Structure 1
Amino acid sequence: MDRLGKKQELKRNFRLLSIFSFMCVAMSTWVFVISASTGGLAAGGTGGFIAVYIGSCFVYFPIVLSLAEMSSIAPTAGGQLNLPISKVQKFISYIAGWLLTLSWLCGVASGMFLSGQMVQGAMLLHNENFDAQPYQVWLLVLAFCFGGFLLNTVGAKHLALVEVIVAAFFVMGYAANIIVFWVMSPKNSASEVFGTFTNGDGWSNFGYGILTAQTAALYLIIGSDGAAHMAEEIQDAASNVPKGILGSYLIGTCSGLVMLVTFCFCFTADALDSGTGFAFIAVYQRTTGSNGGALALTAILIILTFFSATNFMASASRQTYAFARDGGLPFSKAIAKVSPNLNVPILAVTIAFAFVVLLSLIDLGSYVAFSAIISLQLIALFATYEVAIGTLIYRRLYGPPLPERRWSLGRWGLGINIFAFVYGLFALTFIVLPSTPSVKGETMNWAPVIFVGVMCISLVYYFAGGRKIYFGPVRLVKNESEWARQRIAK
């Protein structure tokens, strides 16, 4: 922190086990495989979505590797804001800061939003005559978000311990779902599961239509880099942050694949027409043969989705705090202030809370709104990856050499970075697409419009005066040489 020109204000409560637990719960890949893969299954069929998921796991991995190395170079809450390039670092890091902050705030919103929707779905399962209204989802989101706010403020000092406990519940929930599906559910044949490829959204090119399921697949596997934004609260961060990023990604994607294949063996197309709005609830009902069993399994998903969103709120608030500390946001001094009693940036957490509550007002609870939030999150996140990894490639090619770091890609670094950059551009072309080729108001992907609007606001603020107070994190670095060679005294 001293070499990076930062003041250590947050307590390092997380060790390797607790940050690993934190990120596994934040990713919750197997949870979202069940609850949020409907779009992918509808777009590509079971065989198509499994193929797209596996492919996405492999081609996204170089991005994860690149982020892990960057987190070891500069283990601060700003994550990839510490761009390894100096000439244009100020403006580029400013844009990256807005993108990164937006993406993580949207991540909180998508999790809280999904939690509220699932509770309403459970109510409809319990009482099919329940009068479901969109405003109810918003009120549920408000309640969940307030719970996450309390855990990230009043309960922040115990968050590391909570993560280990929730991780144990996470493992038990995974085992419960796998056992119930394997033992109790009627099964599709292997040929049906792996051989069903559909162009459910009606694109003119069949293969292209299946590839549109990529957005749903990516949503399931993102989030492991959240460890980077908790770096200032992790002991021996230069080593443990990249380990947490890679470990949670590998565990999340592998367990998610097992759950996806299992779920597809139990999934039937008629589940997409479930009156609850969720295909998985219909699958649970068919598997257990009772509403009570379906409700119990749904409750597990709701609890874990809430804690996933709560962890996203922690990472989002630390990213907001780090960006404000560098002067990138309006009222930066207030946002970057850390509470001496709670040891958290209270206003940064409050901003995350307010952002979710306001963004969730979009169309008051519709599936289109949820899809827009996911797309906005992915657009901002991948745009940040492109900026950060692009500058990393530039630094490797034109020097000077990257600083010493505890975790390095070595001689493979440039090739991995280039592949990650090219794939990021490819993924973005699909993320910005509408859900169907026949675009109407209800099927329009409004995320690019919102994205452009936010970026316009950021540019107006920058040129109207923000550039005078924003200096960028790299300008504070005291000395790059040997900054990773000294370990924290134990």
Structure 2
Amino acid sequence: MSSTNKEFRSHAEADLDTTDQDEWDMQRLGKAQQLKRNFRFYSILGFTTTLMATWESILLTSTYGLTDGGRAGMVYVYIGSFVGFFAAVISMAEIASVSPTSAGQYHWVSEFGPPRAQRFLSYLTGWLSVLGWQAAFASICFLCGTLIQGLLVFNYSGDTGYVYNFHSWHGTLLTIAIAAVGTLVNTYGAKFLPPLEGVILFLHLGGFVAVLATLWGMSSGTVPDHAVWKEFSNSGGWSSMGLACLVGQLTPIFSWTGPDAATHMAEEVQNASFVIPWCMVSTALVNGGLGFIILVTLLYNMGPIADVLAPASGFSFLPAVHHATGSIAATNGVAAIILIMEVCSAISILATASRQTFAFARDNALPFSNALAHINKRTQIPVTSVLVSTIITVLLSLINIGSSAAFNAIASVMIAALFTTYILSIGAFIRARRLPGGIPPSRFSLGWLGMPINCFAVAWLCFSIIFTFFPTASNPTPVDMNWSILVFGVVVIFAIIQYLVHGRRIYEAPVTQVRKTD
């Protein structure tokens, strides 16, 4: 390389805020540094903790756990699920330290998977990850929109002078509005996103303290200890209490989905091979702790389970908080905090979805890959991928006008899709561990515990993914049926057909670009 080219390269990389380790990692992965590395540890920690929004989601999705398992079921399922979830997180953290790339799981499957199958499995993983994150953005926007509707129902019903009439198209318009907010922040406000995430982290922690203080400080009385730790319930009508609790694990699973988000931002994080894994671990510990505390607080102060199930608003936490505080104003305040944090989560999810789309397009795996992989020179982000992600959410939200069940099936498929990518990537890493050369060195290592932790993580993921396809009740109506298994099957078939028609001819598997190092 000439001295002129070296000088140009050094200036370009300086403008992108790369470290020597970042440059080495990108060279090993065979990728050019295109994105500015403007995230540091605390900003990316704010990004991931608020994206997962665990304590907020525990309240929002508490209906599932209260229906299937009850108070005690929610406590023990949360603890058990966290053990399995944490094993998956630290497994992926080690892989992310070896290969810190926005491609994430599909790159890992390509690099560490069996040679004969790695190209197809990588392509399938990439499609599942892209579609999973697109569904995640649609899901969170819809959740925010229906929460606003739920608040209107909660405030304007019964003895009030005005009664709000719930319409599906209202939810669709609100979903589009939330998506528009996320898009504006991720485009026009892109350069402010890292410092904004630091502020959002403060709001995430401050909001937790405010809600916790409200529930305990204004509590009208708590249930006995045995009600929280020993009383199970099976309102879903399952054949056994154990099965009911397993079905109810959807509450914690939904609250923890997305630990790979930091990985998809890796090429925008300085010192990524060190920061990303520790960010993933820190996020799991912080959110896991906050989620457990808010869960126990809710269970002690919510009153009788029968009084909060099947609420008119659609959200059990609203009557639960109202029972605890005896105040509509306090309930609205708690809901407002949760709504704000979920909108912040939508901002982070859109960023993640667009980066995963950008990375997959960069490997020529998507239709119109050149456009989707384009980096805007002014903003230094994949603007086209951001806009396409928003358009997909808008189109999906229109389905809600005709059938909320159909939309919920599409939105809920994110869990199955992302969990499948976790299984494939950790499984590929287990294979790499057994090879004579072992795995490449990393700055975050599980050492000799890596193999048993990886195997346990895959076992838990395979077990838990089964119950994400279950409906809430054992005898559901067509409206209440969980159709995500059907949508997931369609997604997998579509990805296979897409590979046969398009992918096998032009898909550039990441492993072909990885440079072997000692």
| Superposition pairs of residues 153-192 of structure 1, within 5 angstroms | 153-186=187-220, 187-192=222-227
Aligned-pair CA distance for 1:406 = 1.0
Distance 1:360 1:346, change over 3 A: same
Aligned-pair CA distance for 1:368 = 4.3
**Matches of 1:34 and 1:74, distance apart in 2:** 35
**Which whole-Å deviations, capped at 9, do the CAs of 1:179-232 have from their partners, x for residues lacking one?**
011111221121112222011211112211211111222111222221011000
Q: Does 1:50 align with 2:75?
A: yes
Aligned-pair CA distance for 1:284 = 2.5
2:270 maps to what in 1?
A: 235
| Superposition pairs of residues 27-66 of structure 1, within 5 angstroms | 27-66=52-91
Q: Does 1:79 align with 2:104?
A: yes
Match of 1:26 among 26, 37, 51: 51
> Could you tell me which amino acid in structure 1 is paired with residue 496 of structure 2?
L
2:483 maps to what in 1?
A: 446
**Matches of 2:186 and 2:240, distance apart in 1:** 46
SS at match of 1:398: coil
1:67 maps to what in 2?
A: 92
> Could you tell me which amino acid in structure 2 is paired with residue 56 of structure 1?
S
**Matches of 1:383 and 1:238, distance apart in 2:** 24
**Matches of 1:77 and 1:427, distance apart in 2:** 26
1:390 maps to what in 2?
A: 427
**Matches of 1:190 and 1:64, distance apart in 2:** 32
Distance 1:439 1:280, change over 3 A: closer
Segment drifting more, 27-36 vs 231-240: 27-36
Q: Normalising by structure 1, what TM-score?
A: 0.95
Aligned-pair CA distance for 1:82 = 1.9
**Matches of 2:317 and 2:410, distance apart in 1:** 21
Q: Does 1:349 align with 2:386?
A: yes
Segment drifting more, 430-439 vs 34-43: 430-439
Segment drifting more, 95-104 vs 250-259: 95-104
Aligned residues: 481
**Matches of 1:243 and 1:300, distance apart in 2:** 28
Match of 1:146 among 164, 180, 188: 180
Q: Does 1:137 align with 2:171?
A: yes
| Superposition pairs of residues 429-468 of structure 1, within 5 angstroms | 429-468=466-505
Segment drifting more, 360-369 vs 265-274: 360-369
**Matches of 1:376 and 1:68, distance apart in 2:** 24
Q: Does 1:121 align with 2:142?
A: no
Distance 1:291 1:336, change over 3 A: same
Aligned-pair CA distance for 1:328 = 1.3
Contact 2:67 2:472 (C-alpha < 8 Å) held by counterparts? no
What is the RMSD of the two structures over their aligned residues, measured on CA atoms? 1.6
Aligned-pair CA distance for 1:455 = 2.0
2:341 maps to what in 1?
A: 304
Aligned-pair CA distance for 1:373 = 4.4
**Matches of 2:261 and 2:255, distance apart in 1:** 14
Structure 1: 5+ residue stretches without partners:
482-490
**Matches of 2:474 and 2:345, distance apart in 1:** 32
Contact 1:13 1:233 (C-alpha < 8 Å) held by counterparts? yes
> Could you tell me which amino acid in structure 2 is paired with residue 85 of structure 1?
G
Q: Does 1:107 align with 2:136?
A: yes
Segment drifting more, 216-225 vs 137-146: 216-225
Distance 1:373 1:50, change over 3 A: farther
SS at match of 2:417: helix
SS at match of 2:233: coil
Q: Does 1:427 align with 2:464?
A: yes
Contact 2:135 2:412 (C-alpha < 8 Å) held by counterparts? no
> Could you tell me which amino acid in structure 1 is paired with residue 461 of structure 2?
G
**Matches of 1:293 and 1:182, distance apart in 2:** 12
Aligned-pair CA distance for 1:477 = 0.9
Contact 2:46 2:198 (C-alpha < 8 Å) held by counterparts? yes
Aligned-pair CA distance for 1:366 = 7.4
Structure 2: 5+ residue stretches without partners:
1-25, 158-162
State the 4+ residue runs in structure 1 displaced beyond 6 angstroms.
Answer: none
Aligned-pair CA distance for 1:437 = 2.4
Contact 1:178 1:262 (C-alpha < 8 Å) held by counterparts? yes
> Could you tell me which amino acid in structure 2 is paired with residue 183 of structure 1?
G
| Superposition pairs of residues 286-435 of structure 1, within 5 angstroms | 286-364=323-401, 368=405, 372-373=409-410, 375-435=412-472
1:473 maps to what in 2?
A: 510
Distance 1:362 1:199, change over 3 A: farther
Contact 2:135 2:410 (C-alpha < 8 Å) held by counterparts? yes
Distance 1:185 1:368, change over 3 A: farther
Contact 2:168 2:404 (C-alpha < 8 Å) held by counterparts? no
**Matches of 2:402 and 2:46, distance apart in 1:** 30
> Could you tell me which amino acid in structure 2 is paired with residue 428 of structure 1?
I
**Matches of 1:208 and 1:125, distance apart in 2:** 32
